[in-house]
Amino acid sequence: MTLSAWVAVERPARAAEFGATAQLAAGQQEGTFAFRFSGKIKFAQEDAFPVRVVLTTDKQTPVVEMIVQDGSTFHIANDLPPGGYQIRSEVMPAKENVYWGANGPSFFINSEGVIRYLPSEDSLVHVKKLQILTPNRQHLATTRRSDMILRWAPLRGAVRYHLSWAEQSLPQFERLDTGAEDTPGQEFNFPNEVHLNRRYEFAIYGFDADGRKLGYSEPFYFYTVGAKKVAEPKVARDATEPSPLIGPSGPPASSAPSEPKMSSVPEPPTAKGAPFFGVRPQPIAGVGAEGRGGLRVAGIGFNSPASRAGMKLDDVITNFNGVTITSGTSVDEFTALVRNVPPGTKVIVEYYRKNVRMLAEVTIVAKR
C-alpha cells in the first residue's frame, strides 16, 4: 500500500515512520489539496470479499466510500480541505462475526497542504475475531486462582497467543496491576493473587509462526465476589472523583454534555500558564498495536484542547506527540509528557475509538 501524497518533487511519501510528512498539490477548489491513495485488501485467512472501503474525517464523517470486490489495487482520489482523516475497510454483514474491520493510515493535512501521517500495514489486512469460551459476561469468580481460567477457541494457523490483562478497582476503575504473557495453547490459568471486589480485564491476540497477527478478541472480564457489576464497556464516572484532568485543573467528567453549573467550591490553585491538554486518563489493557493497551479518556474537559480536536470519553490514547502510550504508562508519566509541551504547540495524538485507530492534531494551551 502506498500513500501517494503527490509532493512538489513528484516522489511518493510512504508511511515509514511516525510523523512522516509531505507537501500536497493544490486541489481544484480553493482551500483544498489533491490527495491520492492506492491500496489492497487482504485477509489473514480465507478471503471475505466484497468489502467497503471508506475515507472519513477524524469525526467519522464519510468523505469517500467504495465497494472493493477482490484483491486488486484500489484507488482513492479526492480533493480534501485541511483536517484529520482515516482510511479503513469494513467487512459486509455476513462476515461481521468472522473478521474485524481493517485500519489504513490516519493522517492530518494542515492549512498549507502539508500532510502528516501515522504508519500502517502494507495492505489493509482483515484479521479474525477470536472467540472467547470462558469467561462470559455473567461470570463471577471467587478469590481462588482456579476460578480465573481463560479458554478460547483455537485460531487456525496460530502457534502463539499473546494475552494482556489489567486488575481494576470498582467502581473507580483504577488500575492496580497489569501484565502480559505468551502461551502456545488455548487456556490460561491466572497466576497472580486474586482479590475481592475487582474487575480483571483481558485481551488475546493470535500469531502464526512468522509473527503475523491472525486475530484478536474483544476485551473481556472477570468480576470477583463483592464486585458490583456495571454495564460494559462503559467506565463508571463520578463527578466527585479526586483524580484531576491532565493539566492544572478542569471541570468534572460527565457521561453527556451539560450546561455549566455554578459551584461554591473554588478551583485548586494552579501555576498560571501551565500546559493544558484536558483529559483524565485511566490505563487500560488490550488496545492498540499488539494489545499493548493505552490510556482511556475517563474524563474530558468542556471546551478543552482535546475536546476541540474531536476526542471523546472512552477514546484510548496510544501515542502522544511521538511517544508510545501503553497500559504500563502511568498517569504521572503522561502528565509529565503534557507539561513538557510549551503552550501553543501542536501535537499529534493517536487514539482508538471502538477498535478504530484515529489521529488528532491538538494545540496545547496555557491554563489560566
Domain ranges for the chain: 20-126, 128-224, 274-367
Fold of the 128-224 domain: Immunoglobulin-like (2.60.40)
Beta carbons of 129 and 97 less than 8 angstroms apart:
yes
> What does pTM read for this prediction?
0.66
The predicted structure's pLDDT at residue 265: 27
Residue 367 scores a pLDDT above 90: no
The per-residue pLDDT for 26 is 96
Phi (first) and psi of residue 164, to 5 degrees? -120, 150
Among candidates 294, 30, 317, which has minimal Cα distance to 166?
A: 294
Give mean pLDDT, residues 312-333.
Answer: 88
Residue 139 pLDDT grade (very low, low, confident, very high; cuts 50, 70, 90): low
Q: Please tell me whether residue 145 adopts helix, strand or coil conformation.
A: helix
**Which residue, 219, 200, 203, is CA-closest to 163?**
203
In this predicted structure, the answer to whether residue 185 has a pLDDT above a threshold of 60 is yes
Output the pLDDT for position 94. Answer: 93
Q: Please say whether the beta carbons of 203 and 291 come within 8 A.
A: yes
| Angle at CA of residue 229, ends 224 and 235, nearest 5° | 110
pLDDT over threshold 90, residue 12 = no
Confidence bin at 137 (pLDDT 50/70/90): low
pLDDT tens, residue by residue, 308-317: 888 998 899 9
Mean pLDDT in the chain?
78
134 pLDDT band (50/70/90 cuts)? Answer: confident
At 126, the pLDDT band (50, 70, 90 cuts) reads: very high
Determine phi and psi for 34, rounding to 5 degrees.
Answer: -75, 115
Give the torsion through C-alpha atoms of 191, 192, 198, 199, to 10 deg.
Answer: -40
Q: How confident is the model at residue 248 (pLDDT cuts 50, 70, 90)?
A: very low
CATH class of 20-126: mainly beta
Q: What is the pLDDT of residue 86?
A: 86
Least trusted range by pLDDT, from 105-109, 186-190, 246-250:
246-250
> Mean per-residue pLDDT for 106-120?
82
What SS3 state is found at 330? coil
Asked, colleague to colleague, whether 20-126 and 128-224 share their fold, the answer is yes
Q: What is the mean pLDDT of residues 199-220?
A: 89
Predicted pLDDT at 58: 77
Which pLDDT score is estimated for 254? Answer: 30
Pairing of strands 213-216, 128-129: parallel
Class of domain 274-367: mainly beta
Q: Which range (15-29, 211-225, 266-280, 317-331) has the least confidence?
A: 266-280
